[in-house]
């Protein structure tokens, strides 16, 4: 019995020494130290050892377990070192690292964030609304009659359900006034959709920024001052800004805003950048009817609204000739706005 333990020990250690992979090492660990391992089974024999030899037997057993465990651990770390070395073979750690391509903000994101920043400093809060709209919020409540050309199936994407992809962000005006009482001062950036022929200046989806300010004493000079300030912040203090009378169903009076652009090597010219006007009383009445109260009584409430195309502003700011560049994700183009 006393020879059995040292024999198991030396056999195990010899076997461990010859092992070349971790899996075999695990098998040997189980075969010797596991529940049915050779050493474990031999240890169970202690009950048959005479009382006076039990202590010596125990010592042999412990010494064997310690020696075998140490051999297993040593072998395991040697195998792992060897694997690490093999993995690194052929790699030149002195080579310079490959440069990481770091992304930049898309020009549309840049101009949108800038526009939002300017308007927030003037007290406008962000508002939001769905892109899949109903005719009431996109047209009817905005005083746009059923026979208006914008409502034509040729110009607007309709769903079979009668819903539609909003043709402008102006629908957010209605949704905001339905849920909040005056005063309101909001801006709503977002996508708008039209069935336009796609060319250098038109896509079927584009980005708008809507604004609405309603209180008890909002006047035309407030509208002019706010938007003049906005375009001076965006395009520089020397930029000419003019308001041209126009028509929108939802504002009266209405204007289009042009900015005077100075492009190097070209004669300065006026470019249309936004629509705006004083909120038409009919819009307030539509909101009142929907809310079922008189919170927006046109005798006490006035407001202005505006809407502009962010794609257009980006094209003007950077002299981008083709709107399609904004959606093609060509990094050679996008890199220029880093």
Where would I find the H helices in the chain? 4-17, 22-33, 38-44, 54-88, 107-121, 135-138, 171-179, 220-235, 281-291, 310-318, 331-334
Q: Are strands 125-126 and 240-248 parallel, antiparallel or unpaired?
A: unpaired
| CB nearer to ligand DAH: pick between 64 and 187 | 187
| Integer Cα distance of 324 and 18 in angstroms | 68
103: tokens are 């992304």
- Nearest distance, CB of residue 218 and ligand DAH, angstroms: 13
Q: 210 vs 258, which CB is nearer to ligand DAH?
A: 210
* Rounded distance between C-alpha atoms, residue 144 and residue 171, angstroms: 12
* Residue closer to ligand DAH, measured from CB, 28 or 287: 287
Give me the least distance between CB of 138 and ligand DAH, in Å please.
10
In the complex with ligand DAH, which residue's Cβ is closer, 9 or 251?
A: 251
Contact 298, 278 (CB under 8 A): no
Percentages (nearest 5) of helix, strand, coil residues in the chain: 45, 20, 35
Report the nearest approach of ligand DAH to the CB of residue 181 (Å). 20
Give me 302's structure tokens: 């006035």
Structure letter (DSSP) for residue 197: P
Q: Would you say 73 or 155 has its CB closer to ligand DAH? A: 155
Q: Minimum distance from CB of 188 to ligand DAH (Å)?
A: 10
Sites of contact with ligand DAH (CB under 6 A): 168, 170, 210, 248, 251, 275-277, 305-307
Q: What is the DSSP string of 32-54?
A: HHSTT-HHHHHHHGGGGS-GGGH
**Secondary structure (3-state) at 150:** helix
CA dihedral 60, 63, 67, 69 (to 10 degrees): 100
Cβ proximity to ligand DAH: between 29 and 312 the closer is 312
How far apart are CB 238 and ligand DAH at their closest, in Å? 26
* Min separation Cβ 307 and ligand DAH, Å: 3
Least distance CB 308 / ligand DAH (angstroms):
7
Rounded least distance, CB 197 to ligand DAH, Å: 17
> Quick one: CA dihedral 310, 132, 293, 146, positive or negative?
positive
| Residue 134 Cβ vs ligand DAH, minimum distance, rounded to whole Å | 17
Helix (H, G, I), strand (E, B) or coil at 68: helix
Q: Which is nearer to ligand DAH, 296 or 306 (CB)?
A: 306
Report d(CA 39, CA 65) in Å as an integer: 8
Q: What are phi and psi of 65, to 5 degrees?
A: -60, -45
Q: Looking at beta carbons only, is 43 or 308 nearer to ligand DAH?
A: 308
In whole angstroms, what is the distance from residue 257 CA to residue 246 CA? Answer: 9
Nearer to ligand DAH, 34 or 298 (CB): 298
């Amino acid at each position: 019995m006393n020879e059995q333990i040292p024999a198991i020990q030396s056999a195990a250690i010899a076997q461990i020494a010859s092992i070349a992979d971790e899996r075999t090492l695990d098998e040997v660990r189980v075969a010797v130290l596991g529940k049915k391992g050779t050493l474990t089974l031999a240890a169970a024999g202690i009950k048959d050892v005479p009382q006076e030899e039990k202590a010596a037997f125990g010592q042999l057993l412990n010494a064997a377990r310690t020696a075998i465990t140490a051999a297993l651990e040593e072998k395991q770390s040697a195998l792992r070192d060897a694997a690490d070395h093999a993995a690194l073979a052929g790699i030149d750690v002195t080579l310079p690292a490959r440069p990481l391509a770091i992304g930049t903000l898309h020009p549309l994101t840049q101009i949108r964030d800038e526009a939002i920043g300017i308007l927030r400093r003037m007290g406008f809060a962000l508002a939001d609304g769905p892109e899949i709209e109903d005719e009431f919020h996109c047209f009817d409540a905005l005083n746009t009659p059923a026979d208006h050309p914008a409502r034509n199936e040729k110009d607007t994407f309709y769903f079979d359900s009668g819903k539609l992809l909003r043709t402008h962000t102006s629908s957010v005006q209605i949704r905001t006034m339905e849920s909040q009482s005056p005063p309101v001062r909001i801006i709503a950036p977002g996508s708008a959709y039209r069935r336009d022929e796609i060319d250098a200046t038109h896509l079927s989806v584009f980005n708008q920024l809507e604004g609405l300010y309603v209180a008890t004493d909002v006047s035309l000079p407030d509208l002019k001052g706010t938007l003049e300030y906005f375009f001076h912040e965006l395009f520089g203090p020397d930029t000419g800004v003019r308001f041209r009378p126009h028509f929108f169903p939802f504002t009266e009076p209405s204007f289009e805003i042009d900015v005077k652009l100075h492009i190097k090597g070209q004669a300065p010219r006026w470019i249309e950048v936004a629509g705006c006007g004083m909120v038409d009383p009919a819009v307030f009445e539509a909101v009142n009817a929907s809310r079922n109260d008189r919170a927006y009584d046109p005798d006490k409430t006035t407001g202005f609204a505006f809407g502009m195309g962010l794609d257009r502003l980006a094209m003007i700011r950077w002299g981008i000739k083709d709107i399609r560049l904004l959606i093609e994700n060509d990094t050679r183009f996008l890199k220029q706005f880093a």
